[in-house]
Chain A
């Protein structure tokens, strides 16, 4: 069945199809339509779940933790300041190995206050122990969310998952979505078997105890081991997904990489625009390509090395800033893993599209031209579209 839906509505439908038990949530732009849609689906009898409108994002994730720790399948959604407010609880969710799924409407971080799209919010949480998957379109939001429950509940993983979708570009954009039958989804994810230690009066357990220096390191290490295991679990689950639903995913998506001289690297909805720019450039005989990261945590190091350790130029599209470091996060991480590869590509960081500044096909064609003109002596950190100080921005 096809339905035309906004990204946030897709998220709510994914929760319904995935038989989520408990949904705590607090409204925040651009994710507000998620709790609204959940409230509506429950009110009209389409969805059987317990919806808990909380008094803050901190409490929303805390309710999620309490519900997940007692065996329920749980989902919530937030963005930006809400995600930052949850920060403390994110590492607690992963440290307690709880399979919570959360939709993130990627939005800029204050100050100044800005409700529009970049990826600073979720990238800031890269050390939280949550798996992070970035959708390019609304169909992916649905598919990745459904897959996320199966990934997070896998006993080799038992980690929470963020499904990241760009503010407005996805959360508020209507697209036609192929919606599977609920039974197909139930068969795919499987029952919420709680093959983990939960709060249970029949088998009392102590969850969230305090650990001295003698034990703490091993707990943190186990989260890292689980994150590494998630790499192959995600691959297997995507393969299963393809068999059942005939849509193909991987932790990275290569686009027209054959004999490419410049490869864009990006995450999220902007990748669609970059694909169009690549097509235009190819028509002009210019050898451009794109490597899109679907998974940012676990970082798909092996796949990136496979595609990028060659004599090419790489233009990283970084939709975040890390002040005080030379270049932004995606650039830094990409450079780091390519350090020991046989071929070291020349990597240029384009800090772009912050706080909702539009990125068009023309912008990426300009980036291609600029990158191809650069040599080893050029400044490899470029603030794309940066206006000179004092210019009227009205």
Chain B
């Protein structure tokens, strides 16, 4: 399960719409408990595929390192990457699969004729044969404890309930 605040979801969609008809890309920063992930920040990047930006993106090793350094400074880690699919659905292409890394959450935002549409998250299977869709919950409020996860919450049996409870207290 990937938890994403409404604000950060809007930021991805906005980046995707502003980049249309080109693909946008960026790093997804957050925490990984082992059983769920929480997105706590984004690190927008430049699509370096100058030759084919409408249907390809690339994040260079230098940009990769910059994203990791930014995450570490904030006490976070790079848990995934986002990119957009202009005029295509929010599901991975074969090219996405061929170039994917395991473990990361791949968030794909569909943009149709400038308008943001679906957004879904995917994880590559261990055997690299295909992606599994990762359940994603976009919460209409911030993240628990204002964006930091308490030690020991990693095995919380019902993360969504915990988040909703936190929201009611606000």
Chain B associates with chain A: no
